[in-house]
Amino acid sequence: MGKQLNVGVIGLGVMGQRMLARMAGHERLRAVRVWDASPAAVAEVQQRWPELRVAESAESLIQDSGLHSLYIATPPAAHMPLSNLAFDAGLSVFCEKPLTVDFDSARQTIARIASEKRRAAVNFSLASSAGLSALQRAFGAASRQPLGQLQSVELELAFAAWPRPWQAAAGAWLSQRGEGGMAREVLSHFIFALQRVLGSCSVTSSAVDYPDDGQSAETGLKAELNASGVPIRIWARVGGGLADYNAMRWQASAGELELNEWFSQARERQADGSWRDLGQGEAWRTAAHLDQLDQWMAMIEGRSHCLPGFAEALAAQETIEAILAGKSA
């Protein structure tokens, strides 16, 4: 086992605390310093993990000479400034999505990462999933196409409420159309997976439903996209008596691949019409979480990893913003 890799965490809401819990069980990654603008969030984390040191500010945390990496779990407006401060301090960065609200700043940061060979990634959790690996084997650039030629992709998302109850403490920004909404927070995961497998997507048409208050995030959308000549249909809705679910179907000439519940359930229909389970449940989710931490460790150490970089995350967000902008066919 190698040396311990020390992580600083900025942002102690739901995502920050989830990552703290996951790192607590890892053999080498260790959260050692934390900071949040909310005293209540800091107090909650101190109660759960009293061994963590609380920094006086985000800037002082980043300047800690004992850190190897920074995890950023703040609202998106702070992502680029904090990332650049971390790069100034020689740290690698693992950042939550959405990546940014300032695309020009993000592009400048991406150029800096490339020119200075900085180490940075974004938390699209599906990158470490067995479901994404199954998609790449079936339809990726190096695939032998065991299910035949891909013909279409369909994605359905539903939420009983937005934000979801467990996100209630995340802040008002999550429910507002400026930075939040289900498309940026959830649909982006699946757009990332699409573009990881098929390359860039173009938006053919989209229609987005917004509340009349001029401020709240979208409550529904329908969109048609195209990637490498493959038509993609997306439907998403908040409310309407629907329970939370997500389902993605990849239809090919000689079979189909269906993924549900954050790619934690997958099954394959073969040419004879029979279905085969590829895996499902808690074991897949646990394995994905552990693999993500191992990939993060590899990034810190400059080794090959599968985590999406800032450029790939920005490409997914650009597709999301094009969907939200609305486009008639």
Extract the tokens encoding 215: 């401020």
- Residue 33 inside a domain? The answer is yes
Residues 108 and 206 in one domain: no
Q: What percent of the chain has pLDDT over 90?
A: 85
Measure the CA–CA gap between 83 and 81, rounded to whole angstroms: 6
Residues 315 and 211 in one domain: yes
- Residue 285 inside a domain? The answer is no
What's the CATH number where 39 sits?
Answer: 3.40.50.720
- Confidence band for 240, pLDDT divided at 50, 70 and 90: confident
Extract the tokens encoding 11: 């942002």
Measure the CA–CA gap between 200 and 312, rounded to whole angstroms: 10
274 exposed, middle or buried (CB, 10 Å; 0-12, 13-18, 19+)? Answer: exposed
Residues 58 and 156 in one domain: no
Report the pLDDT value the prediction gives residue 278, as an integer from 0 to 100.
85
- Global pTM value: 0.94
What is the number of structural domains in the chain?
2
Report the pLDDT value the prediction gives residue 171, as an integer from 0 to 100.
67
Q: What is the pLDDT of residues 163-196, one digit of tens each?
A: 888 887 666 888 999 889 999 999 999 999 999 9
Residues 145 and 183 in one domain: yes
Report the pLDDT value the prediction gives residue 329, as an integer from 0 to 100.
52
Distance of CA 186 to the CA centre of its chain: 8
Q: What residues make up the domain containing 25?
A: 5-118
DSSP, res 261: T
End-of-domain residue from the set 118, 152, 187: 118
Residues 112 and 130 in one domain: no
DSSP line for 182-219: HIIIIIHHHHHHHHHHH---EEEEEEEE--TTSSBPPS
Residues 86 and 140 in one domain: no
Residues 52 and 133 in one domain: no
End-of-domain residue from the set 71, 92, 118: 118
End-of-domain residue from the set 71, 88, 118: 118
Residues 157 and 77 in one domain: no
What's the CATH number where 226 sits?
Answer: 3.30.360.10
Residues 106 and 37 in one domain: yes
Report the pLDDT value the prediction gives residue 285, as an integer from 0 to 100.
81
Extract the tokens encoding 170: 């995340």
Q: Which whole number is the average pLDDT over 121-139? A: 95
**131 C-beta neighbours (distance < 10 Å), count:** 25
- Residue 145 inside a domain? The answer is yes
- Residue 17 inside a domain? The answer is yes
**11 C-beta neighbours (distance < 10 Å), count:** 27
Residues 142 and 189 in one domain: yes
- Residue 297 inside a domain? The answer is no
